[in-house]
Amino acid sequence: MFEKVLIPTDLSEQSDAIIARAGRISTIREIVLLHIMDRRGIDNNKKNRDRVPDSAERTAQEKLKRQQALIRAPGIIVRTVIRENTAISIPEMIIQSAEIERPSLIIMGARKGLLSGSLLGSGGTTVLAGGRTHILVMRFLEKGIFTHPLPEEQDDNLFAKILFPLDFSRPATDALTYLERMDGIAEVILLHVIRQIERQEETLNLRVREVEKRLSDARETLRQSHPEVRVRLMVRFGNPFEQICRVSLEEHVSLIMMSRFGKMDYLTKIPVGITTSRVAREAKKPVLVIYTDIHLDINVRELTPSEFYFAEKIWIDYHQTKSDPVTDRIFCVFVEDTPVSVARCKQHPDGYEIDGIFTWKEFRGNGYAKKAISALIDGCGSETLYMYAVQSLVNFYTSFGFEPIREQELPATIRERYAWAIGDMNAAEVCPMKRVPVRQKEK
């Protein structure tokens, strides 16, 4: 692992310390030292354009040569790259350079809680969110000046004692496979944090037993590849970010290693997990963020009556709608094992009504409602279907074969639901619609 490493350097003493320590990672075979010269502030005056940048570049080349010499391991190739930045931000330039160099790891420094303080500022999260490789955020115990060689307590193997937060999501499980391939590990702490809300919703003892069982399974997997490594299991309660940082200090770990996404981050496809971002930004220990691709399993199916509680959980934010196993057929979209969108066909004495079409806010914009309605029509489309559509969605439902109709054409039982509108559908901002089965239209 980590044979080719990209290290953005601002030529500071902090960068010196990062480069020197990177040179002691045994798997590295090539290091690319990247310095970005920010020329966005230079005016178009020919004198300034010709003289100032050239002088700055010569200085940068001299400092890079000195930093190159900090890598003393004979088996490591060290290259230096200077790029000029004239239009985009420095973090974006780092991402662009990573696309060109294709490193297996980017190493950045952290100062005062900000990723690469002097080089990246608060934009360091841009690299974390936009990079498509693993990222190591390096930290040192010194305050202010960085010295060489590093203090003895910092000269230990970076991977000696690893804290690995595990939320049992697919990204975390994938990240665990990288841990299985790493050498030089003496101890691993597998940590699961149970959020406070989970303590209120479930029986505590049952939840803890479930977590301990899954952590034990993960430990056995690790032991197959590293039988000599001590693996400890730990369960904590509270905010995941706070507990991860607290345990890292209490246990004096050498590294926090975690996946780029947590479960909900992964399911909602955000660029980087909220907890991961905060740990990388604010933890006092080095943080290795493992990049994993997003390949979601999406499944759409009709719920059995015993599963209707899935729909009611989603409907909590939709008028707290309830289901009825006698009259309802409910179709649900699952992302991985999480229900995210539902649509219902309700059988009235005089007709079939479509309603309860709702998607959790975090999952909107991904076409999940369309999948739910398509499944409903596949299952119930042999009947004439009626609905009250929100006027802004009339065109959307038209694409499924629904057509606007007069309110009087609705079955009486369905029409009663909007009796309060006193016939003024425009004021209620809804439009009665009807879908006739294709076979009936052909007749």
**Residue 118 sits in the same domain as residue 186:** no
* CA dist., res. 80 & res. 9, Å (int): 10
Structural domain that includes position 413: 298-442
- Max CA separation in the chain (angstroms): 87
Identify the CATH number of the domain in which residue 275 sits: 3.40.50.620
**Residue 39 sits in the same domain as residue 168:** no
- The residue out of 121, 148, 175 marking a domain boundary is 148
Q: Which residues of the chain have pLDDT under 70?
A: 40-54, 111-125, 140-156, 196-203, 265-267, 269-271, 418-428, 440-443
* CA dist., res. 276 & res. 266, Å (int): 12
* CB-CB contact of 77 with 31 (8 Å): yes
In this predicted model, what pLDDT tens digit does every residue of 379-389 receive, in sequence order? 999 999 999 99
**Residue 341 sits in the same domain as residue 432:** yes
* CB-CB contact of 379 with 343 (8 Å): no
Predicted TM-score (pTM) of the model is 0.71
Task: Supply the pLDDT for residue 14.
Answer: 84
* CA dist., res. 380 & res. 294, Å (int): 33
Number of structural domains found in the chain = 3
**Residue 313 sits in the same domain as residue 382:** yes
Task: Supply the pLDDT for residue 349.
Answer: 93
**Residue 410 sits in the same domain as residue 320:** yes
Task: Supply the pLDDT for residue 40.
Answer: 66
**Residue 271 sits in the same domain as residue 413:** no
**Residue 1 sits in the same domain as residue 143:** yes
Helix (H) or strand (E) holding 127: helix 124-130
Query: At 417, which amino acid appears?
Result: R
Task: Supply the pLDDT for residue 378.
Answer: 96
**Residue 17 sits in the same domain as residue 105:** yes
Task: Supply the pLDDT for residue 296.
Answer: 76
Residues 6+ positions from 331 with CB-CB distance below 8 Å: 300, 301, 302, 303, 342, 343, 344, 345, 372, 373, 375, 376, 379
- The residue out of 240, 269, 293 marking a domain boundary is 293
**Residue 220 sits in the same domain as residue 168:** yes
Task: Supply the pLDDT for residue 144.
Answer: 42
* CB-CB contact of 282 with 309 (8 Å): no
In this predicted model, what pLDDT tens digit does every residue of 23-76 receive, in sequence order? 888 889 999 999 998 776 555 555 555 554 568 888 999 999 999 999 988 889
Q: Which of 366, 364, 342, 222 is nearest to 294 (CA)?
A: 366
- The residue out of 239, 263, 293 marking a domain boundary is 293
Identify the CATH number of the domain in which residue 333 sits: 3.40.630.30
**Residue 310 sits in the same domain as residue 225:** no
Residues 6+ positions from 417 with CB-CB distance below 8 Å: 388
**Residue 374 sits in the same domain as residue 423:** yes
* CA dist., res. 14 & res. 10, Å (int): 9
Q: From its phi and psi, is residue 324 left (phi > 0), alpha (psi between -120 and 50) or beta?
A: beta
* CA dist., res. 287 & res. 278, Å (int): 11
* CA dist., res. 293 & res. 260, Å (int): 10
Task: Supply the pLDDT for residue 150.
Answer: 41
**Residue 46 sits in the same domain as residue 137:** yes
Percent composition of the chain: helix, strand, coil (DSSP 3-state, to 5): 40, 25, 35
